[in-house]
């Protein structure tokens, strides 16, 4: 029997096709030569696993099978995630009405499927985003399509007549993993990237070994913990309003003297003791404010514009595998910085305060985590950020470069949870 497995159905996915050839041990250790490591960890990723979160650059793995050659529509895999939202897979039979989406929404499993006249049927399932491996099975039964989690039947959605008819046609079944099918018109309400890992998959009882990648970026760590992993080559930038309106106080006319404060809380564990942790970048891409680690002086440095505003020695626990907690509070007359319980304060003059407040309120100002806009001064390690009291979800980022993992870190880089 000829099995039509195509990994690359569109030009978009060519990059991933090349990976099988290009993936070399080079990407195993991203630590540059000659750089002393602060906290080392085992960078090994497990063969036979598939990381589903790297789809933003068009790296969408797509399986395609000729329907007339299929004997079953049943699929199963194991999934592990800490991400509250994203696509697990989307299957379609070449039309806007015949599709089936399995996703994570509000940390729960969710099924959506298209019926005639654009109607979408949804069903919410059990909690999935707890970082534990779960076996998920999707089976076609008499009364519809059922989803089983660890062997228990948890959701069933009715199948449309069109979809039943299509299964007897001569079209193609396409399965996109971790993302939507490129250029499809399927109306999805889910923000796609899912920081998750898959293993032991079997798709429609067909060969899908093509999903096994040599590249380390397509594989997963053995165990994970909550946090965001910055590999030392990636950075994330987002608009303050992505965190919700309360975090942006734009002064409108008549509200000039409205008070403004900035509160930044970072829990982190560095692999290298250098790089920018946090920065505010104005619409012209000038760095207005930044917090970084200076490797040669072993200082934590705060810059306002391009001047050093405050500098304090990093704690001796920085490179002993303990997670660090940093709290930064900018208010009208001072800047307070608390790093692992050691507090430093400096008076902020009126001009600098007005400058920061104005930059923050400007449309187009961005907050960067783990480096600067052009990827300069990258941070390498695990980080959890809270801004204005709101947990930062990196999936809401405007800019995300490199292999940054939004909701997972290798468990060796354990950061204390949500201080």
**In the complex, which residues of this chain contact ligand NAG (CB under 6 A)?**
19, 54, 56-57, 59, 215, 217, 245, 284, 286, 294, 296-297, 305, 400, 402-403
The answer to whether 172 and 70 are in contact (CB under 8 A) is no
Shortest reach from residue 19's CB to ligand NAG, in Å: 6
Query: In residues, how long is the chain?
Result: 419
Q: Residue holding tokens 């913990």?
A: 225
User: How far is Cα 410 from Cα 214, in angstroms, rounded to an integer?
Assistant: 19
Closest CA to 211 of 5, 366, 4: 5
Asked if 121 and 115 touch (Cβ cutoff 8 Å), the reply is yes
* Nearest-approach distance from CB 314 to ligand NAG, in angstroms: 12
Q: Closer to ligand NAG by CB, 47 or 169: give it.
A: 47
**In the complex, least distance from residue 166 CB atom to ligand NAG, rounded to whole angstroms:** 33
- Contact indicator for 174, 189 with CB cutoff of 8 Å: no
> 416 near 341, Cβ under 8 Å?
no
Closer CB to ligand NAG, 95 or 294, in the complex: 294
SS3 125: strand
Q: How far is the CB of 151 from ligand NAG (least distance, A)?
A: 33
- Between 18 and 141, name the residue whose CB sits nearer to ligand NAG: 18
CB of 233 to ligand NAG, least distance (A): 7
C-alpha 251/C-alpha 358 separation (Å) is 8
Task: Give the nearer residue to ligand NAG in terms of CB position, either 92 or 393.
Answer: 393
Report, in Å, the least distance between residue 284 CB and ligand NAG: 4
DSSP classification of residue 242: G
Residue 39 or 59: the one with the smaller Cβ distance to ligand NAG is 59
Match 């996703």 to its residue by tokens: 103
Q: CB of residue 311 vs ligand NAG: minimum separation in angstroms?
A: 8
CA 280 to chain centre: 21
- Taking the least distance from each CB to ligand NAG, the nearer of 105 and 215 is 215
- Shortest Cβ distance from residue 294 to ligand NAG (Å)? 4
| Contacts within 8 Å (CB) and 24+ apart, 130-134 | 130/82, 131/80, 131/81, 131/82, 131/224, 131/225, 131/226, 131/408, 132/80, 133/78, 133/79, 133/80, 133/199, 134/78, 134/79, 134/80
Q: What is the largest CA-CA distance in the chain?
A: 76
The encoded tokens of residue 290 equal 């930044």
Question: 214 vs 338, which CB is nearer to ligand NAG?
Answer: 214
SS (H, E, C) 106-138: CCEEEEEEECHHHCEEEEEEEECCCCCCEEEEE
**Minimum CB distance to ligand NAG, residue 59 (Å):** 5
> Residue 79 or residue 235: which is nearer to ligand NAG going by CB?
235
Q: Is 308 in a helix, a strand, or coil?
A: strand
What's the number of CA atoms in the CB half-sphere (13 Å) around residue 274? 15
CA dist., res. 282 & res. 365, Å (int): 4
Residue number, 136 or 302, with CB nearest to ligand NAG: 302
Phi, psi of 272 (to 5 degrees): -120, 140
C-beta closer to ligand NAG: residue 3 or 57: 57
> Residue 123 CB, nearest distance to ligand NAG (Å)?
28
């Amino acid at each position: 029997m000829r099995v039509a497995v195509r990994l690359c159905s569109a030009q978009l996915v060519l990059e991933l096709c090349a990976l099988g050839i290009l993936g070399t041990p080079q990407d195993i250790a991203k630590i540059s030569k000659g750089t002393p490591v602060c906290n080392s960890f085992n960078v090994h990723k497990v063969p036979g696993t598939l990381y589903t979160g790297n789809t933003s650059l068009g790296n969408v793995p797509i399986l395609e099978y000729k329907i007339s050659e299929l004997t079953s529509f049943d699929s199963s895999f194991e999934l592990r995630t800490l991400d509250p939202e994203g696509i697990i897979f989307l299957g379609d039979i070449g039309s806007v009405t015949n599709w089936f989406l399995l996703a994570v929404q509000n940390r729960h499993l969710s099924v959506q499927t298209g019926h005639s006249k654009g109607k979408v049927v949804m069903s919410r399932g059990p909690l999935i985003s707890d970082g534990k491996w779960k076996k998920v099975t999707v089976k076609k039964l008499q009364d519809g399509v059922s989803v089983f989690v660890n062997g228990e039947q948890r959701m069933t959605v009715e199948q449309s007549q069109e979809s039943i008819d299509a299964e007897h046609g001569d079209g193609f079944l396409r399965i996109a993993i971790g993302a939507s099918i490129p250029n499809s018109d399927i109306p999805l309400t889910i923000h796609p990237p899912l920081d998750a890992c898959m293993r032991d998959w079997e798709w429609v009882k067909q060969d899908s070994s093509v999903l096994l990648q040599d590249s380390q970026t397509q594989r997963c760590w053995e165990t994970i913990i909550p946090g965001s992993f910055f590999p030392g080559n990636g950075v994330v930038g987002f608009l303050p309003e992505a965190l919700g309106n309360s975090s942006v106080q734009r002064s409108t006319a008549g509200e000039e003297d409205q008070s403004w404060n900035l509160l930044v809380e970072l829990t982190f564990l560095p692999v290298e003791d250098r790089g920018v942790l946090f920065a505010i970048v104005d619409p012209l891409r000038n760095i207005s404010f930044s917090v970084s680690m200076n490797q040669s002086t072993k200082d934590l440095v705060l810059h306002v514009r391009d001047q050093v505003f405050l500098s304090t020695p990093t704690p001796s626990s920085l490179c002993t595998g303990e997670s660090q907690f940093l709290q930064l509070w900018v208010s009208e007359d001072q800047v307070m910085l608390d790093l692992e319980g050691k507090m430093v304060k400096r008076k902020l003059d009126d001009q600098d305060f007005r400058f920061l407040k104005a930059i923050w309120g400007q449309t187009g100002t961005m907050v960067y985590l783990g480096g600067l806009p052009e990827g300069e001064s990258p941070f390498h390690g695990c980080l959890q950020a809270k801004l204005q009291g709101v947990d930062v979800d990196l999936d809401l980022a405007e800019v995300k470069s490199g292999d940054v993992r939004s909701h997972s870190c290798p468990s060796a880089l354990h950061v204390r949870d949500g201080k």
